[in-house]
Every structure is written in structure tokens, then in C-alpha cells.
Structure 1
Amino acid sequence: MIYMDKVDYNQEIKQAQYNGSLIQVGDELNIQITGYDELAIKPFNINTISNTNVKEASDATSLQSYIVNKQGEITMPVLGNIPVTGKTIDEVKVDLEERLKKYLVEPIVIIKPINLKIVFLGKFGAAGMKVHDNEKLNILQAIALGGGTSEDADLKNIRLIRNVNGVDETYVLDVTDYAITTSPYYYLQNNDILYAVPDKNAQIAANKNAYWMKGMAGFGFLITIYTLFFR
């Protein structure tokens, strides 16, 4: 399979701008608060908090994990409920640091999303749900993650299904065109679904070959019968 073979060398092509993946309900975020005063930041990094949307860290050096609840919030010690859905990681980082300035001097927030997921359907080599840790995953990297596309996939008709504000929206991507790198959908979001549509011409050719093989098998069977009974 050849990707991005359609190139206009006379046209200036600018790389798509990565604005960050938007946080959704159910996302899992590793969050660590750091600062100059270790004693002061300790209440903000308790790994044994009893909370439905906090996962206990496996060891003292691990980041504590927060799951975004149905209200689109995470619940943090001292700070309480923080709305995060529809925001990027950087936006949440800035928000938390501003909130923490009431309690800490020059706080630093480190956030890393975990259990990022992409679902592959159709003519992929390894269809199904894949978990990855690449926050800046683009469409070509995703295709590789899905085991590449089969020979009968329509590379001009890769469907991207994305949930936007609770509504599934579908976009058609042509990965044979180098201009895909300028598309606003070049970089994927967590929980995106990719569907590799079968190529109609390839299907027609495959069906013709199948009919031809069946016909030849039937013809061979008739020859065998004729040979056995009429010679």
C-alpha cells in the first residue's frame, strides 16, 4: 500500500497544527503537583485518597490517577471538583496552577493522560481497540498501530468517527494525498474510531476471480465425470 503518493510539488504544504486532544468523560489523567515546599504540597498529592474517581498509585513515586466523571470533572484533594472536559491538557494544567497559587508558591502541575484508545474497524491488519501512550498520534501513525491497511482497502475513503459534545461525527480522509498533513483531522483524539472502507473496484475484481475459480472448479468436475463414464 502506498500512502501520500499524491503530491503537488508546486503547492506549499503546511503541517497541521497540533492543538492538543480534548479531554472526555471516562478519560484517565495522571496528575502530580510539585513545588519548592515539599511539606506544603503534600496534601495535594495523597495517593491513598478514598474517592470514586481517584486510583491509588502503585508506589510512592507513581503519579496519582484521576478518572473524569460523568459530570466532566475530576475531584482533587483540597481543590475539590475541577471541570476538565472539552479542555486540552495544557489548559487544565494552567487552570490547576492558578487555583494552587492560593495555597502554594509557584506550583508546577504535571499531567499525563493514560490508557489512550483508538478503535480500528474494517480493512485493517489488526482491527479492534488499541491502547497507546502517544498524546500526539497522527492518522498515519494510527494506521501503523492498526497493523496497516489490507490491499483491498480504499485509502481515499478512510472514515474517522469522532464523538463531539455527545454526538458522533464522521469525516472522510484521503491518506493517498500528502495534503492530509494539513487536515484538522490529521491528529487524532482519544477514543476516535477509524474505519477502513473496502475498495469497491477491488471487491468487484475479487468477486470476478471467485466466480471464475468456481466456474473452473465446476468445469473440472464435469471433465472428471465425462472421463470416468464416457471413455
Structure 2
Amino acid sequence: MKKLGFLFLLLLGIFSTSCIPHKDTLYFVNKANALDSLQTIKEMQKPYRVQINDILTIRVKALDQDNVRILNPIDSPNLNMTSGEKSYYDGFTVDAHGNIRMPTLGYINVLGYTTEEVEELLEEKLLEEQFKETANIFVTVKLAGMRFTVMGEVGSPGTKTLFQEQVNVFEAIANSGEIPVTGNKKEVLIIRQYPQGQKIHHIDLNDVAVMQSPYYYIQPNDIIYVPPLKQKSLGTGETLMQNVATVATLLSLVTTSILLINRL
């Protein structure tokens, strides 16, 4: 009986250490004396610069709209198309050389420009080549949505598109079904595209200082990966009560097996 009690205590100790600590399930833990987050976030909000494979939506307006009709997309008769699908077909994709190809203007290099700089560039080219100042040319350029992919321990993994100028990592994850208890918030990976290739960045969503990170705001085509905690791979419970129940089941199985063996 003493051996049985010792076995019970041993199993209970092993499984209790496999519980997921409450602090690891939280966001915004103040692990140090954080700086003024409001000021830091403002510093992080640098304008995005156009990269290869981005899709730009471009609209040109003038006093006589018929003169710029060729530069604007034609309304699709397919009412079942989503906003993302319309942007894909009507937008201008940045090719491998950083160029977009526009009617009457030809190829224009926009790699590394902000959307505001692209607007100024297009207005200048239109005024130089086709229109006069009296035409009152007005160009708007936007990214065709913030497209990103979330993988791993989230409720709804997959590729998402949000139609807004900026998206932080918490908004991206919230739109992907949230991170379950078994997700490792401390070791989230951001896989980001650069002109020279892809790089992997680590961020800790458990720490409030994540708002100071240059990767707090995601960029188009980012891949966000949330790895599982080791408790999931071990197959243990997420809470102490779940582990106690598992221990009780195992102990009952062991006890029954011992009794049956002794009767033989």
C-alpha cells in the first residue's frame, strides 16, 4: 500500500509540473518597467514601402472624368466577387523588378516608395505627358488590403486580408481565431519578406514590451507562426484538475492490474 501511495505521489508530481502556468496564458504581462507605450507605438508607425508582389489599387480623378477613364478599373459585372478578388483583378501587381504597368504610362518603378510617394510620382508623370494643370489630376494609391498568413496554434489558421492601413500582430491573431491555451505566446515567429529574401523574427506576446518591437505592426505577406507548448506534445492536461483526473485514471488502472495479478 505504501508503494501505491508513493506511485500516486510520483505521478501527481510529474503531471502537476506539466500544467500550463497561468502567467503563460496571458497577454501584456509587465515583465519589466515598461516605457510609455503610447510614445513607443507612435515611433513604430513608420510608413510602409512598396515591395515586390504587392498589389496596388490606383484611382485617377480629373475635372473631365472621361479623359482618365482608361486609367481606372471597369466595374466588374460579377456581383459575387469579394473585395479581395476585385483588388486582385483590378489592381496593379508589383513585378520582380519593382514595376507596375499602367495604361498609357507603361512601366513605372515603385519599389521602395510609400503610397503617398507613388501618388506624387503618378501625378507628375500624368501632368508631364498627358494633362495640363487645369485638368486638376488627383491620384489615390492604396495597398489592396493587408494580406497575411497565420499558422500553428490558432483557432482559425489560414490566409487573411484586412482592408485597413495598419494591422498589429494582436489584430492579426484575433482575426485568426485567437491563440488557445496550448499555444506558445512567448515564441511567436514573424516570417517577413525583404528584397534579399525572407527573415524570421521572434516576438513575445506575453510581454507588454512587444509594443516596442519593430515587428509589432505586420506587413503585407507576413507569415505568423504560433508554436505549441511542450505540454501539448506530452499529451498532458492543460490544468491541474485535468492532470489529477489523468493520474486518478492511471492509478486506478495500475491498482486493478496489481489486484488481478495477485489473484493469479
Q: Identify if the C-alpha distance between structure 1 residues 122 and 213 changes in structure 2 by more than 3 Å, giving closer, same or farther.
A: farther
Q: Which runs of 5+ in 2 are unaligned?
A: 1-24, 78-85
Name 1:219's counterpart in structure 2.
254
Q: Is the 8 A contact 1:20 1:136 kept in 2?
A: no
TM-score, normalised relative to structure 1: 0.78
Name 2:110's counterpart in structure 1.
84
Q: Which runs of 5+ in 1 are unaligned?
A: 48-55
AA at the equivalent of 1:19: K
AA at the equivalent of 2:27: Y
Name 1:17's counterpart in structure 2.
44
In the alignment, does 2:76 pair up with 1:58? Answer: yes
AA at the equivalent of 2:113: K
Cα displacement string for residues 208-231 of structure 1 (whole angstroms, at most 9, x for unaligned residues): 9598578447437637x939x959
Name 1:121's counterpart in structure 2.
151
% identical aligned pairs: 27
1:162 aligns to what SS in structure 2?
strand
Name 1:52's counterpart in structure 2.
none
Match of 2:57 among 10, 27, 30: 30
Q: Is the 8 A contact 1:21 1:190 kept in 2?
A: no
Q: Is the 8 A contact 2:231 2:237 kept in 1?
A: no
Name 2:20's counterpart in structure 1.
none
Structure with the largest fraction of helix:
2
AA at the equivalent of 2:202: V
Shift in Å, 1:144: 0.3
Q: Which has the larger radius of gyration?
A: 2
Computed over aligned residues only, the root mean square deviation of the Cα atoms, in angstroms, reads: 3.3
Q: Is the 8 A contact 1:125 1:149 kept in 2?
A: yes
Shift in Å, 1:57: 3.8
TM-score, normalised relative to structure 2: 0.69
The separation in 1 between residues aligned to 2:57 and 2:198, in whole angstroms, is: 27
The separation in 1 between residues aligned to 2:97 and 2:165, in whole angstroms, is: 23
The separation in 2 between residues aligned to 1:220 and 1:89, in whole angstroms, is: 70
Cα displacement string for residues 66-100 of structure 1 (whole angstroms, at most 9, x for unaligned residues): 22223321111121101123333222122212212
Name 2:29's counterpart in structure 1.
5
AA at the equivalent of 1:77: P
Q: Is the 8 A contact 1:57 1:65 kept in 2?
A: no
Structure with the largest fraction of strand:
1
